[in-house]
Amino acid sequence: MKLSKRVISILIISVMIICVGSLFVACLPVTQTNEGATTEGTETQEPTGFANIFTSYGTWIWLAILVVAFYFLLIRPQRTRSKKAQELMSSLQRGDEVVTIGGIHGRIKDIREDVIIMTIASGVDIKVNKSAVSRKASQ
């Protein structure tokens, strides 16, 4: 288990180093000489059009793309999950059959502020937090 985590972390770090290195190389001005060979840092021509915009604001464009990617891949799904969990906790009623995070099935006997008393067998009641309810067993 530790070996696989170590390998994954090494791969992630390697990819990050390659990306950062390619960004630094991409920021160097490149021009062509009369013979067709490229030289770095000497006799630069002023780029036009989209190239001019990209050379001026290239870092900010990549940063904006990264922010949008984080929003759609991390923040938005987490908000929808928490919204569903809040709706589930607010819709719990006495008599509902629910399943807890630990896999315990039971019927709600009483609901308090943040605690639910569940009956899991005849005469066996347990007290669990509302946040421990994973889903309703009967829809």
Domain limits at 100?
93-136
In this prediction, residues 11-36 reach a mean pLDDT of 66
Q: Convert the pLDDT of each residue in 76-127 to its tens digit.
A: 999 999 999 999 999 999 999 999 999 999 999 999 989 999 999 999 999 9
Considering the domain architecture, whether residues 97 and 47 belong to the same structural domain is answered as no
Number of domains comprising the chain: 2
Considering the domain architecture, whether residues 66 and 121 belong to the same structural domain is answered as no
Considering the domain architecture, whether residues 29 and 65 belong to the same structural domain is answered as yes
3-state secondary structure (DSSP) of residue 48: coil
Considering the domain architecture, whether residues 67 and 23 belong to the same structural domain is answered as yes
Reported as half-sphere exposure (CB side, CA atoms, 13 A), residue 98 has a value of 29
Reported as half-sphere exposure (CB side, CA atoms, 13 A), residue 47 has a value of 13
Separation between Cα atoms, residue 25 and residue 37, nearest integer Å: 17
Considering the domain architecture, whether residues 107 and 124 belong to the same structural domain is answered as yes
Considering the domain architecture, whether residues 99 and 84 belong to the same structural domain is answered as no
Considering the domain architecture, whether residues 36 and 84 belong to the same structural domain is answered as yes
Considering the domain architecture, whether residues 69 and 114 belong to the same structural domain is answered as no
Least confident of 17-21, 24-28, 61-65, 105-109: 24-28
3-state secondary structure (DSSP) of residue 59: helix
Considering the domain architecture, whether residues 98 and 41 belong to the same structural domain is answered as no
Cα 9 to chain centroid distance, Å, stands at 17
- Return the pLDDT at 108: 95
Considering the domain architecture, whether residues 76 and 131 belong to the same structural domain is answered as no
pLDDT band for 8, please (50, 70, 90 cuts): confident
Q: Convert the pLDDT of each residue in 63-75 to its tens digit.
A: 888 899 989 888 9
In the chain, what percentage of residues exceed pLDDT 90?
Answer: 42
Considering the domain architecture, whether residues 13 and 46 belong to the same structural domain is answered as yes
Considering the domain architecture, whether residues 113 and 51 belong to the same structural domain is answered as no
State the CB neighbour count (10 A cutoff) for residue 106: 22
Give the residue carrying structure tokens 């984080």. 70
pLDDT band for 1, please (50, 70, 90 cuts): very low
Write the CATH number for 107.
Answer: 2.30.30
Cα 127 to chain centroid distance, Å, stands at 33
